[in-house]
């Protein structure tokens, strides 16, 4: 799959601050005169958003790991074909909140689904298409869950938060998840950059911006 733009992904566990940094980077690059598209997984397309509701809502269904992986890749093929590749072909910078690394970490490491099968499906669905830069926002498991943006926002507004199916899983799941992201980073040192998510948001944003500017010149 050819591309002219730049594909950046943000990864990390619950409460790592990905969404904040996605928006910060998008604003920074837009102010620099770059054309930017922000998106997310699962989601990004009408079809993907429907699948997102099934997977992340607490009442979306009791999916086993096999079903989760198949649903995620069904959403991903639409996401790549309808959103990501068309934008890259126009020379835009695409910033996605999660991509295949999340499937590896959540379903592979977290749920212990065979990683080799995930890689086979990934090859089938997106071929050799990978992000140019991946930022993995790393934070201690308990701290991340405690400061989850969705939970805090729901409490502040006194509303019932339902998009928290994964947040409610046992601590051991989240610890495996964190280790999974760190392992992915070690295996892909040219692509992945681990960022300490316990730093102040301004400091995190500055580190991310420096890396991206080094890539785009």
| 198-213 pLDDT, tens digit each | 999 999 999 999 999 9
Q: Work out the average pLDDT over 159-165.
A: 46
Confidence of residue 141 (pLDDT cuts 50, 70, 90): confident
In a domain, 85, yes or no: yes
Please give the model's pTM, rounded to 2 decimal places: 0.89
Q: Above 50 in pLDDT, residue 54? A: yes
CATH no. for residue 150? 3.40.50.300
Which pLDDT score, from 0 to 100, does residue 81 have? 97
In a domain, 1, yes or no: no
Number of domains, the chain: 1
In a domain, 116, yes or no: yes
Q: Above 50 in pLDDT, residue 27? A: yes
Give dist(CA 181, CA 184) in Å, integer.
5
User: 51-65, 104-118, 143-157, 164-178 — which is least confidently predicted?
Assistant: 143-157
Q: Work out the average pLDDT over 33-42.
A: 97
- Could you tell me the CA-to-CA distances from 7 to 84, 119, 157 in Å, in that order? 8, 20, 34
Q: Above 50 in pLDDT, residue 127? A: yes
In a domain, 56, yes or no: yes
| Pairwise pLDDT comparison (181 vs 165), residue with the higher score | 181
What is the residue whose two structure tokens read 């939970």?
151
Name the 3-class secondary structure at 110. Answer: helix
Segments forming the whole domain that contains residue 118 = 6-213
Which pLDDT score, from 0 to 100, does residue 32 have? 96
Q: Work out the average pLDDT over 57-62.
A: 68
Q: Above 90 in pLDDT, residue 124? A: yes
Determine which helix (DSSP H) or strand (DSSP E) holds 39, and give its type and residue range: strand 36-40
In a domain, 58, yes or no: yes
User: 14-28, 48-62, 69-83, 190-204 — which is least confidently predicted?
Assistant: 48-62
Burial class for 187, CB neighbours closer than 10 Å (0-12, 13-18, 19+): exposed
Q: Above 60 in pLDDT, residue 153? A: no
Which contacts qualify for 21-29: CB closer than 8 Å, 24 or more apart?
21/135, 21/137, 21/201, 21/204, 21/205, 21/208, 22/95, 22/97, 24/201, 24/205, 24/208, 25/95, 25/205, 25/208, 25/209, 25/212, 26/95, 28/205, 28/209, 29/93, 29/212
* DSSP code for 32: T
Q: Above 80 in pLDDT, residue 11? A: yes
In a domain, 63, yes or no: yes
In a domain, 34, yes or no: yes
Give dist(CA 11, CA 137) in Å, integer.
6
- Could you tell me the CA-to-CA distances from 11 to 34, 99, 174 in Å, in that order? 22, 8, 14
Confidence of residue 59 (pLDDT cuts 50, 70, 90): low
Using CA of residue 135, residue 139, residue 145, residue 149, what is the dihedral sign? negative
Confidence of residue 1 (pLDDT cuts 50, 70, 90): very low
């Amino acid at each position: 799959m050819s591309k002219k733009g730049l594909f950046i992904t943000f990864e990390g566990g619950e409460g790592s601050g990905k969404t904040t940094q996605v928006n910060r980077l998008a604003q920074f690059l837009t102010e620099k005169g770059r054309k930017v598209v922000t998106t997310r997984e699962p989601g990004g397309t009408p079809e993907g958003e429907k699948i997102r509701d099934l997977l992340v809502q607490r009442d979306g269904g009791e999916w086993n790991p096999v079903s989760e992986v198949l649903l995620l890749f069904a959403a991903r093929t639409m996401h790549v074909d309808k959103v990501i590749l068309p934008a890259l072909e126009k020379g835009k910078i695409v910033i996605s909140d999660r991509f295949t690394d999340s499937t590896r970490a959540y379903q592979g490491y977290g749920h212990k689904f065979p990683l080799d099968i995930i890689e086979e499906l990934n090859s089938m669905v997106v071929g050799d298409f990978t992000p140019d830069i991946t930022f993995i926002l790393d934070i201690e498991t308990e701290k991340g869950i405690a400061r989850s943006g969705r939970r805090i926002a729901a409490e502040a507004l006194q509303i019932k938060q339902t998009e928290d199916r994964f947040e409610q899983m046992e601590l051991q799941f989240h610890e495996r998840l964190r280790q999974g992201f760190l392992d992915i980073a070690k295996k892909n040192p040219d692509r992945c950059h681990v960022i300490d998510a316990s730093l102040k948001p301004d400091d995190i944003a500055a580190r991310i911006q420096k890396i991206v500017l080094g890539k785009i010149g």
